[in-house]
Amino acid sequence: MKSGKYNFSYNAVDNVSKKTYSNSYALTYVKKRYSIFIYTDKMVYKRGDLLRYTLFAVDSETLPFNVTSSTIDILSPDYLKVQSLKNSVFVNGKFKGTLQLSKSAPLGLWLINVTTPDVEVNFLLLIKAKLI
């Protein structure tokens, strides 16, 4: 189905009451061009760890999609930008990145945010204290 404006109409008859129902709605359909998935090498990180992440972009047929412009932000639990990569380009539907976490990095849920002209994706990851 192509993106565009469509009209949805229906007619129905209640066989018991013989009452007729009909209505029409204007719809706008926007075909989904692609999806972005975020993968990290671990589920939980400790202070001082190296965060490795891979972003995958696939089109509506699940084939690799080359995103030509995106911004990748990593935010600490208090929403401070720790890393911001502007104009990031996906090659063969993939982007790889790393971030060396500080030994004094705040504990809690961090956020990887990917913004493109068409899509915004958020991913939470946990940094917790090392238990000795």
- DSSP conformation class of 87: E
b/e code 70-95 from CB counts within 10 Å (16+ = b): bebbbbbeeeeebeeeeebebeebeb
Selection from 127, 74, 72 nearest residue 105 by Cα: 127
End-to-end CA distance of the chain: 57
**Confidence (pLDDT) at 130:** 53
The model's pLDDT over 41-96, given as tens digits with 9 standing for 90+, comes to: 988 899 999 999 999 999 888 899 998 889 999 999 999 999 999 999 999 999 99
84 in Cβ contact with 73 (< 8 Å)? yes
**Model pTM greater than 0.85?**
no
Reported as type and span, the H/E element at residue 127 is: strand 120-127
